[in-house]
Amino acid sequence: MDATTPLRQSDPPRRLSLVLHPRRDVGAAIDCVTRWAGTNGVELAGLDDPRMPVAVRRCDEAGLARGCDLVLALGGDGTMLGALRVAAPLGVPVLGVNLGRLGYLTEVDGERLPEALQAITDGAFAVEERFVLLAAWREDGRLREEAAYNDVVLSRVPGRGQAALALSVDGQLLVRYASDGVIAATPTGSTAYSFAAGGPLVSPQTRAMIVTPDAPHGLFSRAVVLGDDERLGVEVLPSSAPIAVEVDGRLLTQVEPGWSMEVAPNPWSALVIRLGSAGFAERARRKLGIVDPAALADFDLAGHER
């Protein structure tokens, strides 16, 4: 499959699963989806949540995306990541609807939900692949693996000193950091913590790992971009403070000096629904509030005065 594969279909999906923001008021969005589903003969499924209408079939998280044509995430970036966790391993695409503030990962804002559903009905959408990382480490004598759609973050535990980390690429030492931590991000996640720590913006159609130090002490303080077949090794050095390990914003464990992990390309991609023609540049300018310098405000992109 290419990075962006247009799909045309005469019929809407037959089964759609809903993933809801755990606290936000999503009633209006659910009403809109329920009306659309009833009109188009679409079966709805979701977790056992009191906000779900009676007509929505209940299922557990393991079965949420099984046999499903599409997962609809109603909330924000966290909801979108939660939907990807259940849908991506089964090859089911996710459409993210922003019902909050920034919603960088989502495709449409809430007020555009009716138009988005109509586009799904008409087959006027594309499915885009997103590069995923796989973090692996030993825990209680067993191998633990976690897919990361945004980032893997290792950060010092506050009040316990600096993080001392050694980073290697395919087994070869790259750098040792004394820092607040390090971020290994997907291109999709390059706009999140990695960007805040000084990392580059990377198009989500790129297959690469972005490794960004967080407040490093030392001569080498730049982000590093690894290819889609390279593996990052991270070792917690003897002088390090305890380290908190997060994947996509979820705190998974706290580790001590001597611990190590590997972050590698995941064997399968995540799938997201894209609507319209807005590309990476337009979305980045709008979502991140990128503005031109005042001296260029009166000129267009070709350098001509407006």
The mean per-residue pLDDT over the stretch 106-129 comes to 91
Pair 197, 150 in one domain: yes
Domain boundary, last residue among 68, 95, 130? 130
Residue 49 exposure: Cα atoms within 13 Å on the Cβ side: 22
Which percentage of the chain shows pLDDT scores above 90? 72
Are 168 and 191 members of one domain?
yes
Cβ atoms of 166 and 154 within 8 Å: the answer is no
> What's the pLDDT at 7?
44
* Average pLDDT rounded to a whole number, residues 38-66: 91
List, for residues 141-170, the tens digit of each pLDDT value: 999 999 999 999 999 999 999 999 999 999
Residue 290 lies in a domain: no
Judge if 151 and 82 occupy the same domain. Answer: no
State yes or no: pLDDT of 178 exceeds 70.
yes
CATH of the domain at 246: 2.60.200.30
184-228, pLDDT tens digit by residue? 999 999 999 999 999 999 999 999 999 999 999 877 889 999 999
- Across-strand partners of 214? 181
Which residues touch 287 (CB under 8 Å, ≥6 apart)? 102, 103, 104, 191
In contact, 233 and 171? CB cutoff 8 Å: yes
Average of per-residue pLDDT values in the chain: 89
Q: Is residue 60 one of the residues assigned to a domain? A: yes
Do 207 and 110 fall into the same domain? Answer: no
pLDDT of residue 100: 77
Q: Is the pLDDT of residue 278 over 70?
A: no
Q: What is the pLDDT of residue 301?
A: 57
The pLDDT assigned to 6 comes to 45
| Structure confidence at residue 23 as a pLDDT band (50, 70, 90) | confident
Per-residue burial over 17-30, b if 16 or more Cβ lie within 10 Å, else e, is: bbbbbeeeebeebb
Question: Percent of the chain scored above 70 by pLDDT?
Answer: 92
Residue range of the domain that includes 196:
133-265
Span 55-81, mean pLDDT? 92
CA 39 to chain centre: 32
128 within 8 A of 3, measured Cβ to Cβ: yes
Are residues 119 and 143 part of one domain?
A: no
pLDDT confidence of residue 223 = 95
| Cβ–Cβ < 8 Å for 154, 244 | yes
* Active-site residue set: 77
List the structure tokens of 87: 């849908």
Question: Domain count of the chain?
Answer: 2
Mean pLDDT of 108-123: 92
User: According to the model, what pLDDT value does residue 10 have?
Assistant: 41
In this predicted structure, what is the pLDDT of residue 170?
98
C-alpha–C-alpha distance, residues 191 and 15, integer Å: 32
Q: What is the pLDDT of residue 3?
A: 47
Q: Is residue 300 part of a domain?
A: no
Residue 4: pLDDT band (50, 70, 90) is: very low
| Shared domain check, 137 and 78 | no
**Distance, CA of 60 to chain centre:** 22
* 138/261 same-domain check: yes
